[in-house]
Amino acid sequence: MAKIFDFNREDAEGQIIHHWHAEKQIHHKAGSVGSGHIVEDEAYLRAVVEALHGPYEILIVGPGHAKWQLHAHLKLQDPEIARHVMAVVDADHPSDAQLVELARKYFSGIDRMTPQIITPKQ
């Protein structure tokens, strides 16, 4: 499941993108061939990417390897959105409130380091 939040200092609005195979969590068996990581379904990743259209800055947060698969998918399939990814951050199953607070703190720090005046292109 992917949770996507649009937020400002006062408000946050979220949406959930469910993976249709989420009820069948697969665990890697010891001794089998491969990295042990399950590759995310391309259709699911496309659904997540579609929900990301519009945000200016993106922070990808979560446990496990899926966040890195999403980031790699973005870089290959939608580089325009990928350039808006500010960071990929590990977090162990945060609540919605914890996710929003983490993102607010992260972007507050980024805002202090980023020039706030945008000059028009000539």
pLDDT at 103 over 80: yes
pLDDT at 32 over 60: no
* Prediction pTM value: 0.70
pLDDT at 27 over 50: no
pLDDT of residue 118: 59
Name which of 21-30, 50-59, 101-110 the model is least confident about: 21-30
Nearest to 58 by CA among 114, 110, 118, 117: 110
**Which amino acid, 26?**
I
CATH class entry, domain 1-7+39-110? alpha beta
* 89 and 71 Cβ atoms separated by less than 8 Å: no
pLDDT of residue 33: 46
